[in-house]
Amino acid sequence: MKKFYLFLIAMMTSMVGWTQTVVFSDNFDSYTAGGMLAAQNPTNWTTWSETPGGSDDATISTEIALSLPNSLKITGTNDIIYPFGNLTTGHYLVSFKWYVVASGNGAYFNMLHTLAGTSSEWAFECYMDAAGNGVLYLQEVQNPFTFTPNTWMDVQLDVNLDLDSIMLTIAGNQIKNWKFSNLAAGTEQGIKRLAAINFYAGCLDNLTGGTNFGTYYVDDFSVIDQQQSSSIQTSSYSNVLLGPNPAANSFMVQTSDVSGNQELLLYDMSGKLLKSELLQNGVNTINIEQFSAGFYLVKVLQDEQTIYRAKLIKK
């Protein structure tokens, strides 16, 4: 136990604070159903041809939606772009809900280092069929995964430009963690820049020369700036210690000289509360075996006031 206390003290010198700022969010509910997305919001959305309202603009639909009444339907010639503004630094969580229609041909999306028509540079491509088979195409390698069609899936892209890293998680399953500046179709190094995300009506057979188009729905799209600071933004930081971090199946939280009711809250990076647990003064063991590998946010409350927060990595 003494070694653990020493480990926690050593960690305290390198612990950073963690705050989140919503850069942009869109649940598509403020738009007129049946209208085109980029035509109604050309400030935040565009199309591959840069012609909002054209044939590659996508329809606001009420057919299937997670947050009622609307979602974005991608099919046929649809080719929607959300431009990030050519970011080269920072840490961002890009997330959206995805519904792949089992009666269709599948789905597709990508991220780009450079958005410039035929001169664009693709960071990666994600292809899916309608039967639950997917491929992450990266450095000319097909990385297979599976999913469940006809259900809403949470897709998260944790992009850390400062560390040149990205992690893709679909429906709670970590698909891959890799170097963001890698290319989709190429083994050389690309540009470390977050230019855009592209929702195109493609599908898995396009990877082998097929010409079918996909049909899928997108809802609850968001971009979160995951800001780090050099210290925890609370006066009681020195009374709470956490470790190990990264953690495997559990981590420990030590509280000392903290009066009142103490509670630990564990969130995923979209802000969803996953676990709450009352704490005692001393060492508390928190079980996280049931959660997928990835990034989480830990908060400790004292009498309902936040006194500590940290980013936790589960291996």
Strand partners, 229: 17
CATH, residue 269: 2.60.40.3080
Question: Total structural domains in the chain?
Answer: 2
**Higher per-residue pLDDT: 238 or 253:** 253
- 296 and 180 housed in the same domain: no
- 152 and 241 housed in the same domain: no
- Nearest one of 156, 20, 174, 138 to 90, comparing CA atoms: 20
- 186 and 245 housed in the same domain: no
Q: Taking residues 44-49, report their average pLDDT.
A: 98
Ordered DSSP codes for 78-96? -EEEEEEEEE-SSEEEEEE
- 106 and 12 housed in the same domain: no
- Read off the pLDDT band of 233 (50, 70, 90): very low
Instruction: Report DSSP state, residue 104.
Output: S
- The one-letter code for the residue type at 89 is T
Whether 238 has a pLDDT exceeding 60, the answer reads no
How many angstroms separate the CA atoms of 200 and 9, rounded?
A: 49
- 28 and 75 housed in the same domain: yes
Element (DSSP H or E) covering residue 218: strand 216-229
Out of 179-188, 245-254, 263-272, which region has the weakest mean confidence (pLDDT)? 245-254
- Read off the pLDDT band of 135 (50, 70, 90): very high
CATH, residue 183: 2.60.120.200
